[in-house]
Structure 1
């Protein structure tokens, strides 16, 4: 799999997501992955795009005055919640490589008058911040999108950016068993957070090799099929983070238009209707300390 091609497709997919209306789909998905109604009503309405697979803030235990960095911050969903936790004397920094997402996030920041929030355009494998910048790093359903050959770089960067004693609190999709070749090479499932997911033992190894200790990886038991069970118009769908994914696929977009080898997959959305994602993968909570 070519990393450049993967990044291009991820950029294309999430650039489209940044232009969508969040709607009821995003609200239902967020609640299914552990966010409370109170949390969802205290952030800008356009920050939640239904891209989560868990709630990393439940693990992060952020305190007043801390600096937190969100890797793959999207429209700002988690970072606006984190900003309230660290308070006016803390800093909440979102990192995302997608210009459309950052544009939406900055509009949300202005609307929320969130003076302790800032956003950086960057891949999460090389972030232009100094060593020891943060007390905590969070991420929500993003590390699985990093190409396999670059995943270790992302964990190394987390370690570099943390202060001594700092922690990572991540929600991510991990695989329970090796995926068949046809699933691993399906671009729809890649940008949908499944095909690029690591095995549990590999995720632990990445953390260890980066230097982390006290590693905890726990299955959150959330139902991944929520992505197919809920849609804005009541129809069924698939692909992490889009209530309009089926319409994109029918129109021939790249999400469902081809696999990682370039083969056309015009009927990918229909092909995986009824597919039980929970058999192959799960939503996991990951915690580790520097």
Structure 2
């Protein structure tokens, strides 16, 4: 297994013209990725600066439908304050994935590391939690948070979720928290997720999903790409994308509204044992 350590991406601002493998947003894929990277790098730097300030951390400005309040108080209290402050997700994937002792977990777009650290606690010393992020500032923050938490069974990898730097068939569970919607090539994300999962492995993510009646252009009007809205797939597009990658047992369950016609949702799927 790779042992490089670095950090992950967070959520972007949309451009209605950017092409994606499933659905469209504005701007070129490279431009959109850079917008997302800058957005999350700035968030990481705000948290880092706040942790060394005399008067406490500067609050990160996020919508109240996103962030650390979506986790149980017991989970938040068990982690470094910086990991909690850097949480910009739309759910709690470590809970929906039903992690078990000894499992190997991969978090796509791990950010400040909150879901990696929670996963590491759930899988125990015999298991391992990987975090993958493209943002150096988030990776540095995640490494610092892992050190503060004393987590020995974690590893952070630098890279993109469209090209996962892990061997095939080595992961039991893939999680993600409001990051897949930020990708400009979701078909590649689904294919790579399928590849790294072992046969019988499962996907359990939180993401933003659009109602089928909303066109890509209408999604872009409701919010930007980096804000997790413009790049979201519809329910049908999400199901079809996962099925095309080979997943079965696909379930997409909305949990709360993130924008008009846009929902935070729990997405579950399984890689067939015979795959």
Query: What TM-score comes out, normalization by structure 1 length?
Result: 0.75
Aligned partners of 1:83, 1:26: CA distance in 2, in Å?
26
2:200 to 149, 159, 165: 165
**What SS does structure 2 have at the residue aligned with 1:164?**
strand
Going from structure 1 to structure 2, the CA distance change for 1:93 and 1:62 (only over 3 Å counts) comes to: same
Structure 1: stretches of 5+ with no match in the other structure: 225-276
Q: CA deviation at 1:120?
A: 0.2
Structure 2: stretches of 5+ with no match in the other structure: 1-17, 19-27, 48-56
Q: Are 2:234 and 1:284 aligned?
A: no
Query: What TM-score comes out, normalization by structure 2 length?
Result: 0.79
Q: Does the 8 Å contact 1:27/1:40 carry over to 2?
A: no
Q: Counterparts in 2 of 1:220-259, with a 5 A limit?
A: 220=255, 222-224=256-258
2:224 to 189, 195, 210: 189
Aligned to 2:253: 218
Aligned to 1:54: 91
Aligned to 2:78: 42
Greater length-normalized contact order (CA 8 Å, ≥ 6 residues apart): 2
Going from structure 1 to structure 2, the CA distance change for 1:182 and 1:199 (only over 3 Å counts) comes to: closer
Aligned partners of 2:241, 2:124: CA distance in 1, in Å?
32
Aligned to 1:235: none
Aligned to 1:209: 244
Aligned partners of 1:99, 1:25: CA distance in 2, in Å?
20
Report how many residues are paired. 232
Q: CA deviation at 1:31?
A: 5.6
Q: CA deviation at 1:102?
A: 0.2
Q: Are 2:39 and 1:13 aligned?
A: yes
Q: Does the 8 Å contact 1:179/1:195 carry over to 2?
A: no
